[in-house]
Structures are given as structure tokens and as C-alpha cells.
Structure 1
């Protein structure tokens, strides 16, 4: 923690020096008592400690009395959401996808917008992890020419709200191929008859964000766990 003494004027420096001496004798010094001792208002003491870089008087007193400072954690909403995801992560979803990949000869990967970069990364890792025919599909229109009976069509999306998945899953069904949609956010509005969906979280990112503005952190974390499990399985073979 940085103590910003250089920001203090002469009076504030004298107040601080006086309180250091008082705190040696009185370790439970309240802000009101401190103000009375140096002849200023409690609000003046409060402004002083904030100016020095402390979160408040209690932290300042801990500093004066040589106690360990308690680090104040500042965490944004997205970090909290990711933390919640990690704490309640369901590994059965990883095991299920790993099993599907292992029992398929061809892996077709599809993602829209920035999610396509996740699929590019997934393709790269899969190609180095196992001996499978892995193809990242750049355009949904290519699916009819690529999907076969031994294929696994994997579609990843953050919310599933900005694309119509029905035609591509119907195409996979027509070729008797296995298909799976992996969504980060829970979406109760999807109407995909007879299609399998994995929801990675029950949470949602900021609803004011456009699709390209949303993070893909959780999708990538899931991909990493799948790759890690596949690597472990292949190592033991």
C-alpha cells in the first residue's frame, strides 16, 4: 500500500505526527478522540486519512498501531460472475463433451462473431491433442458439404440470441450426425426440438452489451477444461 505523505500540507503533517505518538499510548483511539486531541473536527481526520491513501479511519488506526492492514478487494461484476462459475462448475458437462469427441471421427466447430476466434483456438488445441479430423466452419452454409454420419457438430455461443440454429441442427440430423450447442448464458427462449444444449451458467452478462461486446472468458475456460481432460485421457492410453 502506498502512503501518500507528499500530499499533506504542514498542518496535516503535524496532525499525523501527533496521532502517531497518541496511538502508541492509546491503541483503541477513536476518530472522535483523535479529533479532540489535535483540535480539529472528525471530518478533518477523515479527509486526512483518505488523502494519505487509506480506505478509512479504522485502516489508518491499524497502520498507526502497527497492525496488519486488511486489503480491500475491489472486484467488478464480471469477475464476480466468473468466480461464481468456477465455484459451482459442473464437471459432468466436460466429461460428456469429451466422450462425444472421443467417439466421433470428424469434429465440426462453429461460432458466430468473436466466438469464432474461440473456435479457432479450440481447433488448434484439438489438433495437437488428438488424431481427429477437426474443422472450424467459417460459414454455416458450408455445413451441408462437411457434415457426415460420423461427425460431431459443436456450436458455441454466449447467449444464442443473435443466430438461428435450427437449420444447421436440422442439417446435422438429416445426415444422422451428432450435434451439441454450448451456451454460456441460460436462455429459456430457445426452441430447438430434439437438440442437445449445455448451459454453462445460470447468469447473464450486462444486458446492455451487444453480442460483440460480451466476454468469451467462460467459453474459453470450458474449452480449456475439455482439452485438459482429453490430454489426460490420451496420456493414459
Structure 2
């Protein structure tokens, strides 16, 4: 299992400090693979004990085992790295991008979603994985330009708490890949029962999350890796549909 897959597997157990540490390490694997826990802690501006706790949340016995994993991860990346741009095939990503734009343009419920952004007392957003959460954070940053605050729900624990207090005057946006709700099924159903307006953002397929949501936004992902549940374009097109949603909302506000 690679680092990205581990992050997704244990995402609900990770707090903001854990995600900060993992984000730095994942972007600097070659640098970190030979460093001590103290050195990594200095890079991340946290304590060594924080690093150790984070590695244990990822199922490692301690930092020594994690560092060995990082060395293997660095070697794996080198082996799979494309040596020359001539081997890069952009046709799959381009197809996904075009299909995602087409799906968005065909959506008949966009104005209702835009109106919910303006009228809701509170707007919450939950990503079912690490990558989905990152895309939602970028979307949240964009909305702040227009004084709209998107409350990012950081983990399943907070989602459970919010599911008990969220009201029909609020709005929930849920970003997922497959729409599989195994780990959050009861919470999403409880929110739906409370008649809270819900917008799902998933791949174009029949899925339980889309079924429960009031409004559905879709993005296209081809050649999905069955092991990691990711491919080169999964976050590209998720980011695209959220960007389209933002641009559409801004134009809607200007015309209103």
C-alpha cells in the first residue's frame, strides 16, 4: 500500500496536525526518507512526539518502521516515474475534462444550488478522503472572496456531531469519488431525515450518496485504479467541477 492509499484509509483518524505532517512528508519523500524524527519535527514545526503519534495512526509501530516505508516508497516512485514526456498520454485526462464540463452544462439545478449558497444560514462541506478535502479547501478559499464562509468538516467525528445539530436552514456539500458511504452512512441518512438541503459531488454513476442528496454534481474519472481508487485525473476533474460551480455562482450573483 502506498502513502496516498494509507492516508485515505486512515483519514478519519487524522487531525489537522497529522494532516500537516503528512502533507509535508508526502511532498518531500526523497528529503524525508533518511531524516530522523527530530529533523522531521523541525521541518514541520511540531514536536517529535507528534510525528510518532501520526505514524502510529497510519498503522506503523513507530517512526523507524515508517522511515523504512518511506525509503521503499521513494524507490517505488523512482521505478514508476515516466522517464520522458513522449510517454505521457493526455487523451484520457482531456476526455474526462470534456465530459465533466458537459455534465455540468447539462445540470438543470445549478440556480437552485446558487440560491442555497446565498440563503443558507450555515454552509458545511465534507470530503470523504484526503484529496477531496483538499479540493474543498480550495473551493472554500474562493468563496471567501465573496464573504461566504464554507465550514470544512475535518473528520467523521465532527460530521457525527454536526449531524445532530444541522438544520433545514443550513446546507451540506459532500465530495466523494464513488459515492460509497459505508463509514458515514448513518450520519448522512440522519442529515437527510432532518431535511437538510444536501449537494453531492461524485463521479457520474448511480450511487447511494447521490440518491440521498437533493442535488447532484458529477465529474468524470476514467481508468479508475481498483486498489488505490484514484487515477491521474480524479482530482483534476473534481477540482474542475468545483471551479465551474464557483464561476457559475459568481456570474449568478452579478446578474441578480
TM, length-normalised to structure 2: 0.53
If each structure's helix is expressed as a fraction of its own residues, which one has the higher value? 2
Match of 1:135 in 2: 151
Deviation at residue 166 of structure 1 after TM alignment: 2.2
SS at match of 2:208: coil
After superposition, give the CA deviation of every residue in 1:188-225 in whole Å (9 maximum; x if it has no partner): 35377643352525x54213352344521222222112
- Provide the C-alpha distance between the structure 2 equivalents of 1:191 and 1:86, rounded to a whole number of angstroms: 21
Unaligned stretches of 5+ residues in structure 1: 1-73
2:224 to 181, 194, 207: 207
Q: Retained in 2: the 8 A contact 1:107–1:152?
A: yes
Equivalent pairs, count: 161
- Provide the C-alpha distance between the structure 2 equivalents of 1:213 and 1:116, rounded to a whole number of angstroms: 17
1:119 to 133, 136, 143: 136
SS at match of 2:223: coil
Unaligned stretches of 5+ residues in structure 2: 1-88
- Provide the C-alpha distance between the structure 2 equivalents of 1:170 and 1:179, rounded to a whole number of angstroms: 11
Match of 1:195 in 2: 213
Q: 1:76 to 1:128 in 2, by over 3 A?
A: same
SS at match of 1:154: strand
Match of 2:121 in 1: 105
TM, length-normalised to structure 1: 0.57
Q: Say which structure, 1 or 2, has more relative contact order (CA 8 Å, 6+ apart).
A: 2
Match of 2:173 in 1: 154
After superposition, give the CA deviation of every residue in 1:120-139 in whole Å (9 maximum; x if it has no partner): 1111111222x344200101
Q: Which has the larger radius of gyration?
A: 1
Q: Retained in 2: the 8 A contact 1:169–1:179?
A: no
The 4+ residue runs of structure 1 with deviation greater than 6 A are: none
Deviation at residue 92 of structure 1 after TM alignment: 2.5
RMSD over equivalenced CA pairs, Å: 2.8
Deviation at residue 228 of structure 1 after TM alignment: 1.5
Match of 1:38 in 2: none
Q: 1:223 to 1:189 in 2, by over 3 A?
A: closer
